[in-house]
Amino acid sequence: MKKHNFSAGPSILPQEVLQKSAEAILDFNGMGLSLIEISHRSKDFVEVINEARATVKRLMNLSDEYDVLFLQGGASLQFAMVPFNLLKLGGKAAYTDTGVWASGAIKEAKKLGTVDIIASSKEDNYTYIPKDYTVGTEYDYFHCTSNNTIYGTQIKDFPAVDSLMVCDMSSDIFSRELDFSKFDLIYAGAQKNMGPAGATLVVVKKEILGKTGRDIPSYLNYQLHVDKESMLNTPPVFSIYASLLTLQWLENNGGIAAAEKRNKAKAELLYNEIDRNPLFKGFCNVEDRSLMNVSFQLTEESMKEKFDNAWKSAGISGLNGHRTTGGYRASLYNALPIESVQVLVEVMKSL
């Protein structure tokens, strides 16, 4: 039986994407060869990566001022690539600290220059999104994390800043409509809303590159990836192909606007039950609640065994909270159907 997969990442993908990916592993485009045993420079694969890059741009409604790259190293490597490419020698960057991933990004940037943490919710266990801050022209760039996967907080209104705007959208990319042209650089690991682990999406406004005065190691240099059309070295071909299929699935199902509607309906259903049922409580500030990762706890620890047994026997998987927060976390990524949320809510009601 197919499980209800609430995993935080790697996470659920559309069934048709898994089916088509499996077929391509055995025989790609009827070539008599597997997708993963042909050259990445072959016509068939170049079409895949180019279509994936074009589909990202269409979905995000971005102009040719932007380029789309599929890199490796996860979002974690972007923590270092961003300052390498945008933090000027002697310059400084502004970061918000909204969780483990944001502080990982801060740690890497500090190795290359001055970082000001202009807002933080660390003292309150990252249970809210800080809002009262400004970012002036003295900063080379501002970095934020749109969705804090572990705690289940999400930025609803992005600040207007007077510097470049960089965002880690790893756990809510393609999940809601945004004016993506407000951002100068966006990055995201594939393994939540886009595809299998392996590829990392980078969307970059080309004019911001080449201004730091740094000698950047080749793989870490966005400009080289732009020049080589995201083919500087052998790319993660399988992850890119499955990402293309997921992006096409998204486009064929109404694009980001329709996904946002579905995501809102799923999140509302679950948060309503958390708020209604005295056995549960949410982890973070109500106004900052994420549509993607719903973190919650039991109010009576004595119910843990009963609840755990109930959701496991209902065919639910991946509901345990992150090891740093404990409790539970239901990740409601684009490919999760509302029926899975209904099953979870029924289990919660039945306790």
Ligand X SMILES: Cc1ncc(COP(=O)(O)O)c(C=O)c1O
Hey, which residues are catalytic here? 101, 168, 192
Q: Which is nearer to ligand X, 75 or 316 (CB)?
A: 75
Distance from the Cα of residue 324 to its chain's centroid: 19
- Please report how close the Cβ of residue 42 comes to ligand X at its closest, in angstroms: 27
- Please report how close the Cβ of residue 173 comes to ligand X at its closest, in angstroms: 10
- Please report how close the Cβ of residue 4 comes to ligand X at its closest, in angstroms: 20
SS3 138: coil
Give the residue among 56, 70, 64, 20 at the shortest CA–CA distance from 251: 56
Q: Nearest 5 degrees, angle CA 61-CA 70-CA 41?
A: 115
Measure the CA–CA gap between 349 and 351, rounded to whole angstroms: 6
- Please report how close the Cβ of residue 6 comes to ligand X at its closest, in angstroms: 14
Applying CB under 6 A, the residues found at the interface with ligand X are: 9, 74-76, 101, 145, 149, 168, 170-171, 189
Q: Which is nearer to ligand X, 155 or 247 (CB)?
A: 155
Match 């209902």 to its residue by tokens: 314
Q: Which is nearer to ligand X, 168 or 273 (CB)?
A: 168
SS3 316: strand
Measure the CA–CA gap between 152 and 285, rounded to whole angstroms: 9
Q: Which is nearer to ligand X, 221 or 293 (CB)?
A: 293
Looking from the CA of 85 toward its CB, the CA atoms found within 13 Å total 26
Q: Are 59 and 250 in contact (CB under 8 A)?
A: yes
Q: Which is nearer to ligand X, 73 or 315 (CB)?
A: 73
- Please report how close the Cβ of residue 43 comes to ligand X at its closest, in angstroms: 30
Closest CB to ligand X: residue number? 74
Looking from the CA of 322 toward its CB, the CA atoms found within 13 Å total 17
